[in-house]
Amino acid sequence: QGLDDMDPIEFRLPHTIQRPAVAPSHGPKAHTTRPIVTGTSVVAFKYKDGIIMAADCLASYGSLARYRNEKRLMAVGETTLLGVSGDMSDFQHMQHTLESLLTQEYDMDDGQTLGTKSVYKCISNIMYNRRTKGDPLWNSYVIAGVDNGQKMLGYVDLYGTTYQSTSIATGYGGHLAQPILRRLVEGREDEVTEEEAVQILDECMRVLFYRDARSLSKIRRAKVTAQGVEISEPYTLETNWDFAESITGYGS
Amino acid sequence: MTSIGTGYDLSVSTYSPDGRVFQVEYAQKAVDNSGTALGLRVKDGVVLAVEKIKHSRLLVPHANRRIMTAGKHIGVATAGWISDTRHLVKRVRDEARDYRSTYKVDIPAKIIAERTGMYAQAYTLYSAVRPFGVSTIIGTVDADGPQLYMIEPSGQYVGYRGCAAGKGKQVAKTEIEKLNLDQMTAREAIKEAARIIYAAHDDSKDKLFELELSWICAESNGLHTHVPQNLFDEAIQHAERSLNDDEDDDEMEGDDE
């Protein structure tokens, strides 16, 4: 289909964006310019037994809610929990890289396993090096684990920015969920029980579903404790849209 | 040293008049002078065992492993030069990683055997390099079930139900042939492997040795792991008991940690 006679809207859709068929061998390097299939917020915080984390099951294709049973939470070895938002193919690349890394560590046969701090540093190195090349992996990672009894919760993004905190949320979660977490969890991380943590987490994810236009109410939750990583089956949040009736013009 | 190959044995790229490549045969001698290694392919898994001859009492137990892992699901036991082994195992690991990176499945036994065999064979083509002085026993469980291959210094590789290499290979092979491998379970095979290593060990040559035992089976979740301590201890007891019962042998009790 020629560029000139294409419908102007279709022209802009992800699958019809024009790219050179083959990268010229002597031309400029093609760099990542935009994410294609994306996941939205990841929310995580420290609680009494470890760290709890949640992400919805959606991988969007622009504004299309395309893949509705995606896993955006992953276990790395026995000790570390990884949550990701951003480009899903870049996440898959990271998954393969980490799997290969874990296999190499297994082959070493020295009785040691990769701890959370090490996984965190590996991911940050990869992310920062990619950004320096101008070809980032378009993701935000939330890395959690219990290392030697110490709870660790960290963040790495496509720029290579890293930080650790009691509560972390990526994307819209940073705007909508983080204030909730700061109010309810910060300073109390050793008191919050699992039951309370689940309630707080569900409430954050609910708010995100109400307000983030690229989110889904079907979510997965995971926790990492000294005993290891546990990722739940998907479940759907209950929502109440009754308020819509009180707003003129909202809904039908 | 015999003078059989005089003139035709200086380079691996030279044939002798009777069609032999002496350098490859000499490499085989390096294998024959090393501690015994064996593999058993049984009904539900593969067991590998090595007689790790210790050259000093100062060596830390369990250090300097002779049995190595590639790609999580492949076990490699060798007889021969340990330094050549490390090089070969690095190659096995690279091949396994590369295959997985391309096809997203674990490399099948037949293919890793072929890759290793072809790699070893390449070192028999050029006078600038020497053949590997290692016989490599590769065990894994893939979609076709448990499999065992042995790759020799020449690059020749053959699939086996049971194989052995190194000093005690004659004794080991004789013992292996007596076993009913197709009906045996991995748990039974561990004990037999230990017993055969102890039987093949010649105390008059090297007093100090350590048994290394590993397996790939359902119990290990399809991963190549060293046999769990309790099973390992049982295997050693079985081996030592068999030695004591054997009145024809004049071997003493094997030493171990």
Please give the residue that has the higher pLDDT: either A188 or A9.
A188
**Residue B55 forms part of a structural domain:** yes
Of the pLDDT bands very low, low, confident and very high (cuts 50, 70, 90), residue B205 is confident
The per-residue pLDDT of chain A, averaged, comes to 90
Select from A96, A100, A106 the Cβ nearest to the Cβ of B69: A106
Overall average pLDDT of the B58-70 stretch: 92
Residue B132 belongs to domain with CATH number: 3.60.20.10
Query: How large is the average pLDDT for residues A48-77?
Result: 97
Residue B201 lies in a domain: yes
A32 in active site = yes
Tell me which amino acid residue B255 is. Answer: D
pTM: 0.86
Look at residue A214 in the predicted model and tell me its pLDDT.
96
Helices (H) and strands (E) in chain A — how many of each?
6, 14
Length of chain A: 252
Instruction: Identify whether B216 is part of a domain.
Output: yes
Nearest to B166 by CA among B117, B123, B209: B209
The structural domain count of chain B equals: 1
A91-121 pLDDT, tens per residue? 999 999 999 999 999 999 988 999 999 999 9
Chain-chain contact of B93 with A104 (C-beta, under 8 angstroms): yes
Distance of CA A220 to the CA centre of its chain: 12
Distance from CA of A125 to the nearest CA of B (A): 21
For B113-169, write each residue's pLDDT tens digit: 999 999 999 999 999 999 999 999 999 999 999 999 999 999 999 999 999 999 999
**pLDDT at residue B6, rounded to an integer:** 83
Residue bearing the bigger pLDDT, A18 or A51:
A51
Separation in Å, CA of B170 to nearest CA in chain A: 30
Interface probe for B, chosen from A103, A104, A105, A113 (most Cβ of B below 10 Å), is A103
Would residue B232 count as lying in a domain? yes
The answer to whether ipTM exceeds 0.90 is: no
Separation of alpha carbons B144 and B111, rounded Å:
12
Q: Is the pLDDT at B211 greater than 50, yes or no? A: yes
Residue B228 placed within a domain: yes
Query: What's the CA dihedral at A246, A247, A248, A249 to 10 degrees?
Result: -120
**B93 at interface of A, judged by CB pairs closer than 8 A:** yes
> Which residue from B65, B71, B101 is facing A109, i.e. has the nearest CB?
B65
- Can you give the pLDDT at residue A1? 47
B77 compared with A32, residue with greater pLDDT = B77
Q: Which of A32, A113, A161, A162 is catalytic?
A: A32
Residue B221 lies in a domain: yes
In this structure, is residue B6 part of a structural domain? no
Q: How far is the CA of B58 from the CAs of B63, B89, B208, in angstroms?
A: 11, 26, 11
* Cα B57 to Cα A30, A112, B80, B178, B227, distances in angstroms: 59, 26, 21, 35, 24
Structural domain boundaries enclosing B51: 22-248
- Report if residue B253 sits inside a domain: no
Q: pLDDT at position A13, please?
A: 59
